[in-house]
Structure 1
Amino acid sequence: MGDLLLGPSARSLHPSCCTGVGATLGSCSRLRWRHSTRVSSLYRKRGRIVSIISVQNKHERFISLLSSSSSSWTNSIPGSLGLYYSLSLESATCKASLINMKLELAFLTTALLGTALSLPQQASNLTTRIQRRLDRQSHPIAPIDGGHSGPLAGFRTSDNAAVVYSTNWAGAARDQPPPGGPYTAVSATFTVPKPTGGPGPMQAGSAWVGIDGDTYSAAILQAGVDFYYDNGKISNDAWFEWFPDYAYDFNIKINTGDVVVAKVESLSPSEGVVIIENQTTGQKATQNIGAPKPEATLGGQNAEWIVEDFQSGDSVVPFADFGEITFTGCEARAQNGDVVGLNGAKIIELKQDGKIKTEVTVHGEKTLSVKSKL
């Protein structure tokens, strides 16, 4: 007995191992579809939606890639939820070989889409969400020379924090671990903003918390909410990311004005948990996540509370006028359990085309506001 499984995490099966298309499946008399209890994950990268398909029995296994642009396959959490489609292989005396790749893909695509199209659409803007999620990625801070120490004139900071400029981040970052050891968790609460903008390309931004990515750039573990303004239409996505991998959506509804708690926690340098809790609706989404590659482990050297002009493809998105975002309950936990806040954190202002586009203010130990100056 073997299964055709649609849904192993794309980060656990690399395309380089996808060999043996057309390989012998072994003894089988007939193939039949049956439902299991989970959903396949979709891996958004390089302009494609890619599902990993594996066929196996107790003797043999082959793995192939199936690419599709179907907007009906909605789950974006890797290796986790929804419908597995499994194919029973009942032993008999015949040998089945999959020789014709076109016939194989046509059979799989027809069967999978037939079921996928019967699933309820989770949101009216699903196609738009999938399209804009392609290649969406946060990046480590992109600093600009000319930052300086001490309070910036006209801005309120805490504890005489350093102020630096960046082309993609605004907010606060602790750039060294506390005496209690590396950072193992970072959290904060914020209200999802109502962005504004003009006609033209979609404008966007993101609010998130994270571990690493400032002075330690090999990896970032982060979770937050993207906000979009598109010719008068506003939408939001909750997401998580382990940089340098791409971002993935949480399966949770986020509306403008909702109060959201974001938290990331490292269980080890290569394992973590990301959480988004919508306090307005009572919904909560939690996802275990692993380092996307061996060299992308966490150092626990930085803790951040950030509004970002994130990257899509090869450039940052047009930055939305988000009004003001206030992070409350800003906390970072050290390895020994000690909890620290914003005192001693450096202030980061977003500067593009020679213009400072944010105004960051720290209000005591645990509250931070980032105001748009667009």
Structure 2
Amino acid sequence: MSATLQDHLAPLVSAGGSRRDVAGLITELAKAAASLQRLISTGASAGGAVATAADGGANGGGDIQKVLDLEADRLFLAAARAAPVAFYGSEEQDEAVALGTEGTLALAIDPLDGSSNIETNVSIGTIFSVLPVEEAHRADPASVFRQPGRRQLAAGFFVYGPQLLLVMTVGEGTHVFGWSPETDVFTKTMTVTIPADAKEYSINASNARHWDAPMRRYIDHCLAGKDGPRGRDFNMRWVASMVADAYRIFVRGGVYLYPGDSRKGYAQGRIRLCYEANPVAFCAEQAGGAASDGLNPILDLVPEGLHQRTPVVFGSRNEVLEVARTLADPASLSEASPLFGDRPVGGF
């Protein structure tokens, strides 16, 4: 019989302390995700009102909020309150929310990633990062979300698609769990190992005219196929739902790229470091892959704030390294913007 999520978390419960608290939080997040899956499958599908309506406001990252964004945030905030969470940092909140004073954990979360795709019935998701809370953080709550990603205790993402999936790590490999609506149980389906080499890349090619020269050069090399400098053909895939692209890459390899570009407000790309890039990077590294901002490992970056953005490259390790080599090439850097031109290549 396949192990359930609770079976997988049992050693953490037995370990006690913060590991037990992490297990409790993941359990509550899984309950909230199942509730959200039911809502998506009923009230928010096929262009329903919950799917398409917007309240006219913008979240902390500047994106317009839909009703389902707010409902997802409500569900996961309730999950955090039911767990030993002291601070809740959400894409849908301008500032972090202080919860129980005795909580040992901080939760950074994108409650509904890819919500622009809701009405088109494309897979969407939830991305989360779990960080430790120390006494210094209680005196300066904003500092808890300024910890580098390597301090994460757990991270993962839910995919709301044909099947509700949880991709998760607690620093001991990356594992996938599928949810059964009949039993309301998450069951382990696989331990993920991202293939080291890629034959697919995922990027929004419509923005090519805005990219810096090094990024254009990398994509041009891929497009040249087996007759070009890479010596093999590549396919391109772009879902515009980060969790959907990530899950495909985790299962069959590939590389995801969201670089900064020359458009106003896009110098650092659009991916948030704390609750999008860091958790996916932790899962990627634990699955044998890699993640960077183009030159530096994502998990080594020190966030300046909850909603900070960063360029992102993650997936098959050899391809992430190839991107870094291309961006660091002196011929490319001579044409590059300061986004890449003043950074060393570090950590690879």
Establish whether TM, by shorter chain, passes 0.5. no
- TM-score where L is the length of structure 2: 0.29
Richer in helix (by share): 2
Higher gyration radius (CA): 1
Higher RCO (C-alpha under 8 Å, 6+ residues apart) = 1
TM-score of the superposition, structure 1-length normalised?
0.27
